[in-house]
Structure 1
Amino acid sequence: MTTEQLVEQIKIKNSFLCVGLDVDLNKIPTHLLKEEDPIFAFNKAIIDATHDLCVAYKPNIAFFEAYGLKGWQALEKTISYINENYPELFTIADAKRGDIGNTSTMYAKAFFEDLAFDSVTIAPYMGKDSVEPFLAFEDKHTILLALTSNEGAFDFQTKLIEGKELYKHVLETSKTYKNSENLMYVVGATKAEYLADIRTIIPNSFLLVPGVGAQGGNLQEVCKYGMNDQVGLLINSSRGIIYASKGEDFAEAAAKEAKALQEQMQELLKV
């Protein structure tokens, strides 16, 4: 999917919502555990209930890998279901991969070719030769971890190096990478006060913003400092949507939560 196609979907739906699929068998409604593939059954119901309210889905790969082969098969079925039934939706493999040379190429092939995701999250710590293999894929997007929403982000990401925070070095250096126009960035919603500075470095890039909802991020603050002329934001909510109910009405409850966020976004897009 191209950036232009993503922007078009945002305009059509008046939404820049991304729904995170973090499927924990201990949290899904118990009646689904009787299904042959409870993970896929849960995802399918959530997707069918929310697809008209969001522009992206973000399966967190760890929540599938944790269940071994069955989990990976559920991931394959989930991404295939989205691509076949709702091809207009942007898909994100939240894998946080990153390794040198051929290894990164193989990770990229796994997510971009075999699973046909539109994008994948990447850890930048190993630098240029760990990122550029992902950027080589046409019409695919590499989402670089820049400033994350977790407490441990302050261990390294905001430390000063030569008078400048490390995350700013990451942003500036990544712009020099080959095919850097295919880059997006992860910036946590709990770091909204940093967004103004971030936009001076990458004014036109899309930002994937987790942390709205269960982690306490403020949607209005994120939009105030992070929105650009093309919106430039994908606001992710996972637990706040998918676990809105543990009953048989879980999909309807998820849709209600997604609708509430979409309506807030619609108002913000009018400003």
Structure 2
Amino acid sequence: MTKQQLVDQIKKKKSFLCIGLDVDLDKIPQHLLTLEDPIFEFNKQIIDATHHLAVAYKPNIAFYEAYGIKGWLALQKTIDYLNQKHPEIFTIADAKRGDIGNTSTRYAKAFFEDLNFDSVTVAPYMGSDSVEPFLAFEDKFTILLALTSNKGGLDFQGLQSGDKKVYEHVLKTALTWKNAKNLMFVVGATRPEYFKTIREIVPHHFLLVPGVGAQGGNLQDVCKFGLTNNIELLVNSSRGIIYASSKTDFTQRAMENALKLQKEMALCL
């Protein structure tokens, strides 16, 4: 998928909603557990109920790896379903990979070629040679962790280093890497006060913003400083949508919560 195709979809749906598919068998409706593949069935029903409201889906890979081969097969079926039924929707492998060059190349092949995701999240700590193998893939995107929404995110990312904080160094340095046009950046919704500085550094890259909903992030604050003339914003909600209900009405409740966010996004746009 190209960047322009993603922007066009956002404009068409009046939404920049990304839904996180973080499947926990202890939380999904119990009636699904009797099915052959409850993980895939849960994802499929969530996708069927919300695809007209979302422009992206983001499976967190850990939630599939935790169930061994069954989880990995469910992930494969989920991405295949999305690519076949909704090829216009942007897909994100939330894997947070990053290793020495030849290992990163294999990670990239796994998510971009075998599973055919549009993007993958990557940790920047090991530097350029650990990230550039991902950036080498045409029309695929590498979403670099810059300023995360978790409680300990500022332990290192917020440290002062010279005249800049570490996350600012990450952003500035990443822009010098080969094929940096294929970069997006993770910036948590729980850090809205940093968005103005971040947009000064990366005014023309997409930001993936977790933390709206269950983590307490505010959509209006994100839009105020995060939106650009070309939009370049994806806001993720996971638990607030997919676990809106643990009963047989879970798809309806998920759709309602997604619709609420989409309407707020339409106003922002």
Fold equivalence (TM over 0.5): yes
Equivalences for 1:213-224 in 2 at 5 Å? Answer: 213-224=213-224
Q: How far 1:163 moved relative to its partner?
A: 2.3
SS in 1 for 2:190: helix
Task: Write the distance in 2 (CA, Å) between the matches of 1:13 and 1:64.
Answer: 29
Deviation by residue 1:143-181 (Cα, 9 ceiling, x = unmatched): 000000011011100101112100000000000000000
SS in 1 for 2:107: helix
Task: Write the distance in 2 (CA, Å) between the matches of 1:40 and 1:53.
Answer: 20
SS in 1 for 2:4: helix
Number of the residue aligned with 1:102: 102
Structure 1, unaligned runs of 5 or more: none
Number of the residue aligned with 1:206: 206
Whether 2:165 is the aligned partner of 1:162: answer: no
Whether 2:12 is the aligned partner of 1:21: answer: no
Deviation by residue 1:176-211 (Cα, 9 ceiling, x = unmatched): 000000000000000011000000000010000000
| TM-score after normalising by structure 1 | 0.99
In the alignment of these two chains, the number of paired residues is: 269
Identity of aligned residues (%): 70
Task: Write the distance in 1 (CA, Å) between the matches of 2:154 and 2:60.
Answer: 23
Number of the residue aligned with 1:243: 243
Whether 2:89 is the aligned partner of 1:89: answer: yes
Task: Write the distance in 2 (CA, Å) between the matches of 1:6 and 1:39.
Answer: 27
Equivalences for 1:125-204 in 2 at 5 Å? Answer: 125-204=125-204
Equivalences for 1:25-104 in 2 at 5 Å? Answer: 25-104=25-104
Indicate the RMSD between aligned Cα atoms, in angstroms. Answer: 0.4
Whether 2:121 is the aligned partner of 1:121: answer: yes
Instruction: Give the letter aligned to residue 160 of structure 2.
Output: L
Task: Write the distance in 1 (CA, Å) between the matches of 2:154 and 2:245.
Answer: 33
Structure 2, unaligned runs of 5 or more: none
| TM-score after normalising by structure 2 | 1.00
SS in 1 for 2:120: strand
Task: Write the distance in 1 (CA, Å) between the matches of 2:95 and 2:59.
Answer: 9
SS in 2 for 1:152: helix
Task: Write the distance in 2 (CA, Å) between the matches of 1:182 and 1:156.
Answer: 25
Task: Write the distance in 2 (CA, Å) between the matches of 1:156 and 1:266.
Answer: 35
Instruction: Give the letter aligned to residue 206 of structure 2.
Output: F
Task: Write the distance in 2 (CA, Å) between the matches of 1:115 and 1:229.
Answer: 32
Instruction: Give the letter aligned to residue 120 of structure 1.
Output: V
Task: Write the distance in 2 (CA, Å) between the matches of 1:81 and 1:249.
Answer: 22
